[in-house]
Homo-oligomer: A and B are copies of this chain.
């Protein structure tokens, strides 16, 4: 961390500042330039509150040199984290496809979709029971009943299930859910993250649609620092000025995250693009650039889906996609 001292600061002010750093266990290096003095801080700067430092009167600006995340940082954990979900593994070369409908709608629907995606090669089943919707007038999910239906589908197919939580008070209902998903709008619900950090269940943490990769890792850090090491990161599109697609899928997140963190990284092309006929090309692109998995929306009857039908693949389209994914994976893993 670098602190730039304001022009015109006195020698005595700088000495006080140095003393302040030393009292926090940091070592310092001072460089005096023509127009400014720069103080390099050495030690564990993850504990330094950058806002506090910038508030000091003689400080012009502060720049982090090392990352503010620690548990999620590959520098301190060079090995890939492999998250285990029952007998399945994700990360460290293990690739999984999560598929299922946006919302659980009925016993028939979730079972039908579960069987079909399993037959095509998906290994985990997704389904929303609690749905964050921009409008209070839109379908909000079957809630507790939705979780029950997912558990029935799991019992029938043997597939572990993934579902989104919106409220820590709902945790008891998620006891038998295999992977708890934190949606994009909850990525900075820090109270929720802390609670999830106290479980030892895998957490699928989606990037907020306007959050940086560093903020994503800071949110992972909330979970990791409470003890839960089973975090799977998910890029699902970011908000930009482009209006043709719902969001802009940021595939550069894959190689960047794989370099700076040891956590597995998966891609959600369905929410990113929001239009089903563009989902498959982006899913293939995600595989080609090294993602550890995909989460894809599939619905038996997209035109009549209660939510996000527009971005769901039919079971046939999904089967076709899985065939292509397998071939691209072969090339990527052989490379």
Contact = CB atoms under 8 A, between A and B. Distances in A.
A326 to B, nearest CB: 10
B248 A240 contact: yes
B289 A242 contact: no
A14 interface: no
A51 B68 CA distance: 25
Interface string A233-253: 000001111111100111110
Interface in A213-255: 213-215, 218, 221-222, 225-226, 238-245, 248-252, 254-255
Contacts of A23: none
A304 B54 CA distance: 10
A86 interface: no
Given A134-B218, A137-B46, A309 B239 contact: no
A98 interface: no
A199 interface: no
A284 interface: yes
A126 to B, nearest CB: 17
Interface in A274-288: 277-278, 281-282, 284-288
Copies in the complex: 4
A288 B36 CA distance: 33
Contacts of A208: 210
Contacts of A135: 46, 49, 68-69, 218, 221
A290 interface: yes
Interface string A29-60: 10111111010101100110101101111000
A40 B40 contact: yes
A322 to B, nearest CB: 12
B49 A42 contact: no
Nearest to A213: B244
Contacts of A140: 190
A53 B218 CA distance: 29
16 contacts: A31-B42, A34-B43, A51-B138, A166-B191, A169-B169, A209-B210, A210-B210, A212-B241, A240-B240, A244-B256, A252-B278, A255-B281, A256-B278, A259-B277, A288-B328, A328-B328
